[in-house]
Structures are given as C-alpha cells and as structure tokens.
Structure 1
Amino acid sequence: MVSPHYVEARAVLVSAIASGQGKTSVTAALARKLVRQGQRVRVFKCGPDFIDPIILERASGASVRSLDLWMVGEELCRSQLAQAAAEADVLLLEGVMGLYDGTPSSADLSRAFGVPVMAVIDAGAMAQTAGAVVQGLRDYGPVQLAGVIANRVASEGHARMVTTSLRDIPLFGTLPKQARSLPERHLGLMLPDDVSDIDTLLDQLAEQLVFDQQAWDAMPPLRFALPASAPSSASVSVCAAAPQPAAQHLLAGRTIAVARDQAFMFIYPHNLDTLRELGATLKFFSPLANQPVPAEADAVYLPGGYPELHAQTLAQASTWQASMRATHAAGLPIVAECGGMMALAETLTDQAGVRWPMAALLPGAVSMRARLSGLGLQALPTAQGELRGHTFHYSQLETVVVPAAHTIKHPSGQQGEAWYRHGSLTASYFHAYFPSNPAATAALFTRSAA
C-alpha cells in the first residue's frame, strides 16, 4: 500500500439560505479577485449543474468540475479536491440551492471533507436580522462556518449593522447592490459567449467586493491526502474518473462524434474523460455550423444545451440533419440527452410559439413550457447496473414511442424521466454522469446496445 503525502490549500464552500442570494456572483467575484492577486484558484460546483461552472471557469481561468456525494461519489470528490489542492492556492466550492437543501446537501459535502462554509446573505432587505440568519445556518446542522459575505449592501453604515449582528462570526466581505447583475434566462445564467462584456462584468464584481484580506490570509489551509504515486496534473482528472480494469477497453478503436457548440454544450468534463478512458477517440462537430457527422464516426453523442434558442439555425442546417438521418439509418449508436433529444424530434416549438422542423429521428414534437418540467437527481437502471445523473428542463416531448425504461428519482425512488430507444437512437431528458458506471456508458455507444 502506497502511503499518502499531504497537500494544502485554503478552501471554503460558498453557500446560502436559498437560491437567488448571489452565490455565483460572490464566488465569481472572489475567484476573479484572488486570480488578479496572482493566486492559483480552482473552483468546484456542488450538485449537478452545467451553466454555473461555465461562468466560474471564465472567472477563475481553470476548468470547473462537479462535486456531489451521490452522483459523483465520495471517492472521486475526494480525489478531485486533493489534486486541485496540489495545483492551486485556493479552492472555492459553490454550493447548490440552500445549505441544507437536497439529499445529499451542501452541508453534507462540507462535513465530509472538512471544508468550512462561507455564508452568502442577501442583506438588501435586512440589517440586524442577518445575525440570526447566519447563526441558524451555522447551528442547525451544525457546520463549521468560516464567515460571511454580505451581498447587496447599501452603505458602510449598513455593513456595520450587519457586522454587529453577527457577534462572533466574522464578516469577510461585502458586495454592493449591482446596477447590472449576471444576466439570466430560463435555465439559469446566460453563457459567457452570449454576454459581450462578460469579462468586464466579472472584473467589476471583483473590484466591488470589499474584502477583509487580513482575515482571509489568517484562515488556516486545509490538508488533503494525495497518494505519493499520484499521476501528473495533466492526467489526474482523467485517471480520477478511470473505469475499473474490466471496463477500460470497451470502446477501444471507436470514434465517437460529439456535438459541441452554443446549442449543445451541457456536458460534464468527466463524461469526455470517461469516454477517452474507455478507449474512444472523440471527434467534435457543430450542428449550428451545419457540419455533418464526421465520416469516421462509429457513434454519435448529442449532449444537452439550448436548441430552443437556435431552432431556426438548426431547422436550416440541412447538411447536419441529413447526416444524422443517414447515421441513424446505418444503425450507428446515437446517444441524445435533453437538448440533444429535442433537436432530433420532428418539430421544436420555441418560447415564442414558432414551430421549427428538426432532424426527425424520434417521432414526436417538443414544445417549450413556461414552468419547470423536470428537476433533480435520478438514476437509470441498466444491465450493467445503475447509471446516475440528473434532469432539468423546461420543455415537453409528446411522442408515440413507448419508453424502454424510466429513470428512478433520488432519494424518493419514484418514477423519473422516460428513456427511449428508437432504432439505434437512445434518447431522454436524463443527463447521465458517465463516471458513475463506465460499463453502462460503454454499452450505450456500441452496436449491440443499439
């Protein structure tokens, strides 16, 4: 057995009482501020999420990975944190929803790895009550609380009232009310490439974050155990998600075409790592650019994204649509998740009520809804065991195709999303996290599964 050696980094988990308190803005501001000071910063996102990590990657300049005790698993979470600590000075973990929301919750993650909580409070409509809120956050679990960052603070006097109310809990920083917040749309924050001045906005957040540097520097770093024989930093993220030996070569010699552009960009980095570790070669292409499926492809992966925002372009992408139909007719495995499935239906009705023709591999019509249609952690039962992931969508598919299976909601055990098989196509609103079951993942991309 190889004895571990230890690495250190300052680390906090940024959380709050609920969504909408400013966790992402504060995490982005803090990351950008520390990077501008010359510190190496790695950011993680707790729970399933595709959009916040893209914003946080832009703020920190480094890839953002997911942490979740159920979907990702404690071992891979621990491995990611240890390797990040070996490469960075600061680890910032942005929580999901409220501190104690979900099973598992951000508080569970904090306790599992000994990462103290930095509580974000929206102080815009309160003053002394801030102390009661923060003490409740600390004591309910309890959790180790590093301190507080108050958002939407109106003045220095307002900040002093908040500080006094906190009693023995330090106020690490404040952000003023923002004239302009990070832009949002129906699935969450807008993507960086859709905001022309995103870097200016992130720099402004960093500059406006009034931060107690002395208190931050006095906070002790955390120790993480890193095996002495750990692989180099260039390969550890792949190795951390590596399949078991029996599954390592299940996709050897296969080329998987992966759709990647502004319409198809909701994909866990570890999903790509897992496909490579299984032996696959990845070839990226852009449906929005009307690129056909690469000729060398043995399978196709269409991840989720925003096809509804690009429905007209996709409807006019005749070369791409024809290549998808030819791929389907040839019996090559096609895996379509959420937005990927939406683009393969017969039609897609956008939020303005306009109906657009899609690739028509899956009989049925997709329409956008004003209300959330699916949310939460789920697992797909397969012959190789449980494949974990999540769902989050504002659209609905109406189809005559009978589901081949349904996911199972976590932790309730209730029936979740429909999972369709239509010829060589497998499609669902379910976003799979491939490292949770590499063997099941490999089966999705083989002709035998199709």
Structure 2
Amino acid sequence: MPACSALFISAPASGQGKTTITAGLARLHRRHGRRVRVFKAGPDFLDPMILSRASAAPVLSLDLWMVGEPACRQLLADAAADADLILVEGVMGLFDGTPCSADLAATFNLPVAAVISAKAMAQTFGAVALGLARYRQDVRLHGVFANHVASPGHAQMLERALPGDIRWLGHVAPSEEIGLPSRHLGLHQADEIAGLEARIDKAADALIGTALAELPPAVEFGPASQAAVPRLLADRHIAIACDAAFSFIYPANTRLLEALGARVSYFSPLADEPLPDLADALYLPGGYPELHVDALAMGLRTATSIRDHVAAGKPVVAECGGMLYLVETLTDRAGTVAPMLGVLPGRAVMQARLAALGMQQMMTAHGAMTGHTFHYSHLTTPLKPIGHATRPSSDQPGEPIFRHGSIVASYMHGYWPSNPGLTAALFCGEAF
C-alpha cells in the first residue's frame, strides 16, 4: 500500500487561520524540495485556489459524503504514490458537520494538528486543546499550534496551559502581511489577493523552526481501486466560462470531462470573449457575477455567442452564479439592476442574508449526483422545476432544478465524479 507523510490541519472553529497555516506549511516544504499535495475537506472552491498556489499542484476535495470514502481513498493513494507530503485542510471546526473533519481524519488515520487562535485568550487555550484531544478517542491529535499570539510571554503562557501529553507545535504572531481577506462567500479568490505570493512566503517564514514544520509521520493509504470511466463524451467539445466571475470549478469535474473523452476549452465572459469555435456544450459554473454586473452586461460578443448557442439547441449546464448570468436581470447588493442574457426567464436579487447552505444531491433516472449549495441570492422565475435536490439530513426539499430548452440550471453545485453517466447525459442534452 502507498505510504506518505501526512497531516490534517484543523481547528476548533472557522476563522482560526487554517488556510494561512496550511498554505505556509506547503510552501515551506516545497522550499525543501519536497513534492507536496494538498487536499481540502468539504465542498470549497476558494481555499483550494490559494492552497494550489502554495503547493504548485491542483487541490482536490475530500468528503465522505459528497466524494465518498472509496473515491477519497483512491485520491489519497494516488497522491501518496507521487508525493513526499500530504496536507489536508479541514472545514469549520474539527467536529462540526455530518460527516465532519474528525470523521475524515479518523477514517484515514490522519494525525491532526489543531490551529487555535489565541487572540484574547490565555489559560483557556489549554482547555480548548484538551477538549479537542479527548472528545473522540478515534482521532489522533498530533499537537496544537497557536495563531494570533501577542508576544513571547503570551506564547509561554499558552504552552504552559497545555496538559503534558498534548504536544506544543509552536506559534505565530498576528500579521497583516500574512492575513487573507474574505467576503460573503469566504476568502477572496487567489487572483484577487494583492501580493498573495509574498503573503504565502511570509507565512512559510513564520513557521520556520516550529515543530509544526517538521515532517509528520507516514500514513498508509489503500488499497484502492478505480473503475475505468467509459468515453461517453468522446469527440465532444465543451466550453467552460472561467474568470473572476465564474471560477467555482472543481478540478475533479474537469478531469472527469476529459476522462469521458471530451475536449475542454475555456473563455472569459468578463473579457467579452465569445464561445470557442464549434463548442458542442457549455458549462457556466458558479462564482461572483454579482460583483461584475456592469462588465457582464456590456459583454456583447459573449452574450451573442451564448444566445446563438442556446438558439441552436446545444446543451448548457449552469450552476448557481452561472444560472444568474442566464436570467433576465441581476440585482447586486447595492441595488444596481443589470440586464443579463435573458435566455432563462427570471430575475435574481442578491440579499444580505444567506439563502442556502449545505450538502444536497440530485436524484435522476441515471442515479444520484452529490453536491452542495451556498448562495446569498434569490431567484424569481415563472419556470416550474423538473425536480428538486434532496438534503442528506433533512426532509425539506433542496434546490429546484430547471430545464428550459437546452438549458439545465440549478443553484446546486454538482460533484460530477459521483455520477459520470449523469454528467455525460447533461452535456449531451439527454433526458435525465
């Protein structure tokens, strides 16, 4: 079975600095010439962008429900066969959610380093660490790392507060030079963060000499087996919108399209680029169209090419922000109303409150596709859904799924490897 040094970076809550520490650690090990592979627990598009820059490799998702345990095992085994170090960044707090980060760490016997923000905290740091260490016996705590530490004296106080059997992994001070800005859906996108490379480098510098920076123990991954994917999209050309407005794309999804035989190419609506020539299907992913309503409204070449694509009856798959681009108007959080493509009847309005968050799955004649939803907008449309996604932990209906001509649209972000056959059907315009 493949084995590799591996560490799971978690925390007692969101906002503790997991992504900054994970990125700095990946960069520091790369400086030592090690091949680093980073994974992100849970459904996330933003943290992986930053972690990919830090590790110089794609960052894939691990989730026992959305991805599934066998597929997670395969991804880890593949990485272990090629890397010197695997880092997994958790989601929310260590025990938050069902399944949670602790479930993932326990399933694959990953040692957990807990990042705890010590801002406005003293000896209680030890109590938090003790709770993380003792809450579940199947979770292997590698140690705790203090973030936002005010002074060397503060660090000594925190370390002394720890029970003797909990390892102190070091600390870093608060710094605007390594902090990562955020907005309503999470961290800013990597390309939007000024001086991101310098921030990651400074985070790496801050970890030099800490126990966290030492190479963690090796973990065995496997056995794993991966079924061959039939080339159901052979000779199909799929165009994908990809820029600051449309960037919520799982690398595993595009890998699946290529494994199914499709040729994938990209274009930018923000740059007013038309669809690539002879595209058989179009994918409009989620992102931040609400931050770019003026540019999208002025993109006449892009708009014309997409309208022509729809008029020709060619398949369109639109998720969340991609769906908002297709409707008649989009109102941003400042109240600005901008015309969108108008090929999907309806109007979308951004709101201050979170509209939906959580795992969901789409049930079809081709089986189930897992995914998730996370949005602040509300859509009003005369269209009747062809169905609704379902929630794994609630009887309440999930996101509606719309079909309008050749367009399939929903707020749900699908994890396509969970159902390659359904993915192929979507991009071939087949009934599902």
TM-score of Structure 1 vs Structure 2, range by shorter chain: over 0.9
CA contact (8 A) 1:15 1:120 kept: yes
Structure 1 residue 447 corresponds to structure 2 residue 429: yes
* C-alpha contact 2:238 2:265 (8 A) present in aligned 1: yes
Match of 2:117 among 96, 110, 122: 122
Task: Choose the corresponding residue for 1:197, options 182, 191, 195.
Answer: 195
How far apart, CA to CA, are the structure 2 residues paired with 1:8 and 1:436? 26
The offset of 1:145, in angstroms, is 0.2
Percent identity, aligned pairs only? 54
What displacement does 1:411 show? 2.2
Structure 1 consecutive aligned stretches of length 4 or more whose deviation exceeds 6 Å: none
* Contact preservation (8 Å) 1:241, 1:270: no
Deviates more, 1:50-59 or 1:130-139: 130-139
Distance change (3 Å), C-alpha of 1:350 and 1:449: same
| One-letter amino acid matched to 1:331 | G
1:268 aligns with 2:264: no
Q: Is 2:181 the counterpart of 1:183?
A: yes
Name the counterpart of 1:289: 271
What letter matches 1:325 in structure 2? R
Cα contact 2:169–2:212 (8 A) shared by 1: no
How far residue 220 of structure 1 moved from its aligned partner, in angstroms, is 2.5
Which residue matches 1:324? 306
Post-superposition shift, 1:226?
5.9
| Number of the residue aligned with 2:206 | 208
Show the counterpart of 1:233: none
Alignment CA distance shift 1:338-1:212 (3 Å): same
1:71 corresponds, among 66, 69, 76, to: 66
Q: 1:10 aligns with which of 5, 12, 15?
A: 5
Amino acid at match of 2:377: S
Residues 123 and 157 in structure 2, CA contact (< 8 A), matched pair in contact too = yes
In the alignment, which residue of structure 1 is the partner of 2:157? 161
Which residue identity does 2:169 align to in structure 1?
A: F
Name the TM-score, length of structure 2 as normaliser: 0.95
Match of 2:143 in 1: 147
Secondary structure in 1 matching 2:314: coil
**Separation (CA, whole Å) in 2 of partners of 1:210 and 1:158:** 19
Match of 1:234?
none
- Aligned residue runs from structure 1 range 413-432, under 5 A: 413-432=395-414
Contact kept? 1:337, 1:431, Cα under 8 Å: yes
Deviations 1:136-166 (A, max 9, x none): 1121123110001111011111111111111
* Distance across 2 between alignment mates of 1:241 and 1:433: 17
2:353 matches 1:371: yes
Contact 1:391 1:429 in 2 (8 A): yes
**Aligned pair 1:58/2:58, yes or no?**
no
The question of 1:351 aligning with 2:348 is answered no
CA contact (8 A) 2:113 2:145 kept: yes
1:377-426 deviation per Cα after TM superposition (whole angstroms, max 9, x unaligned): 10011111111000111111111111111110122242111111111111
| Alpha-carbon separation, structure 2, partners of 1:179 and 1:270 | 33
How far did residue 283 of structure 1 move? 2.1
TM-aligned CA deviation for residue 176 of structure 1 = 0.6
Whole-angstrom CA distance in 2 between matches of 1:215 and 1:348: 46
1:122 Cα deviation after fit: 0.9
C-alpha distance in structure 2 between counterparts of 1:146 and 1:442, whole Å: 42
Partner of 1:388: 370
Is 1:405 equivalent to 2:387 in the alignment? yes
2:129 equivalent to 1:108: no
CA shift at 1:135, angstroms? 1.3
Q: Deviations over 1:87-108 (max 9, x none)?
A: 2211110001111111111100
1:241–1:273 Cα contact (<8 Å) kept = no
Q: Look up the match of 1:99.
A: 94
Query: Partners of 2:21 and 2:55 in 1: how far apart?
Result: 12
The alignment status of 1:82 with 2:77, answered yes or no, reads yes
Per-residue deviation, 1:211: 4.2
Instruction: Deviation per CA, 1:317-375: give whole Å up to 9, x if none.
Output: 11111111111111111000011001111111112211111111111111111111111
1:183-262, aligned counterparts within 5 Å?
183-209=181-207, 211-213=209-211, 216-217=214-215, 219-225=216-222, 242-243=228-229, 248-262=230-244
CA contact (8 A) 2:46 2:190 kept: no
Distance 2:12 2:227 in 1: 32
Deviation of 1:59 (Å): 1.4
Paired letter, 1:58: R
Measure, in 2, the Cα distance between the counterparts of 1:107 and 1:266. 25
Choose 107-116 or 280-289, whichever is displaced more.
280-289
Question: For residues 366 and 351 of structure 1, what CA distance do their matches in structure 2 show?
Answer: 11
- Offset from partner CA, 1:261-294 (integer Å, 9 cap, x none): 1211111111111111222111222111212222
Q: CA deviation at 1:20?
A: 1.0
- SS of the aligned residue for 2:233 comes to coil
Stretches of structure 1 that go unaligned for 5 or more consecutive residues are: 1-5, 231-239
Closer, same or farther in 2 for the Cα pair 1:122/1:348, shift >3 Å? same
Letter of the 1:224 partner, please give it: F
2:260 aligned partner? 278
Give how far 1:208 is off.
2.0
- Any idea what SS the aligned residue of 2:292 has? helix
Cα distance in 1, alignment partners of residues 212 and 271 from structure 2: 50
Cα 1:170/1:210, change in 2 over 3 Å:
farther
- 1:431 to partner: Cα distance: 0.3
Once residues 86 and 207 of structure 2 are traced to their aligned partners in structure 1, the CA distance between those partners, rounded to angstroms, is 18
What is the TM-score normalised by the length of structure 1? 0.92
1:215 and 1:398, CA in 2 relative to 1: closer, same or farther beyond 3 A? closer
Counterpart-to-counterpart distance in 1, 2:291 and 2:54: 24
* 2:34 counterpart (35, 39, 45): 39
